[in-house]
Structure formats: structure tokens, C-alpha cells
A = this chain, B = another copy of it.
Amino acid sequence: MNDPASKYFKCTDRERAIFEAGIKLGAIYHQYTGIPVNESNIEYIQKAIESATMLQPFVENVKVKINLNAENDTKFNYKSLNGTMLEVDLTVNYNGSTARAKMKYLRDLNYPLMYLEE
């Protein structure tokens, strides 16, 4: 593992993996919401988010699913991607320690929650 920034951190490997997972989910929500999406380009957008997230430090795996049904229709034939439509499953591995984090809209909270599953 190559980490040119390790000297700046005061934490365990597990904590670092968790921190990096938080960064990636915060980034996904605030970078991609607003993109026009419908059935015709949903796979391109999912693939773009996944491929860009994979470039960020220590991401081992990421799966993105956009739920088009989560939003009401407009008079135009697309929707603006928002947090309630996003489902993300992310694994970060820092020096062998892993964190598995998710983003998912939860009806009981009426909120797209980012949480640590493992």
C-alpha cells in the first residue's frame, strides 16, 4: 500500500478506513445530485459514479444504483438526480483494515442515510 499522506494522520488503520469511507459518500451525494437522468442514461451515470469513486484513495469496491421510481414525474422526460434516488455500497481498505459503508434512502427517517454496516 502506498500512502504519501500517512504522516498527517493520527488514528488507527480501521479509523482511517472509516474516515475515507465517509469522504467518499459525502462526495458522491454532493457531486452527482442534480444530474439529469432517466432510463436512457441511468447506466452511464451509475458507471461514471462508480468509476470516479474507484479512483479515490483506498476504495476497494463500490456499487451504485439509481432508483428512478423514487421521484415524481415532471412534464419533461427526465428527473434531476437527488439523494433519495441514490443507493451506494462502498468498501474501503486501508492497509488491510476495512470499512463497509452505505448510502440509502430510509423511509422512517425520510432521509438518504450514510451509515457504517461493518
Contacts and interface: CB of A to CB of B under 8 A. Distances in A.
Interface of A: 4-5, 8-11, 14-16, 18-31, 33-38, 40-41, 44-45, 47-48, 51-57, 72-78, 80, 82-83, 99, 101, 106, 108-111, 113-118
B4 A109 contact: yes
Counting every copy of the chain, the complex holds 4
7 contacts: A4-B109, A8-B117, A9-B116, A20-B22, A36-B55, A76-B109, A82-B82
B16 A15 contact: no
B101 A19 contact: yes
A11 B116 contact: yes
A47 to B, nearest CB: 5
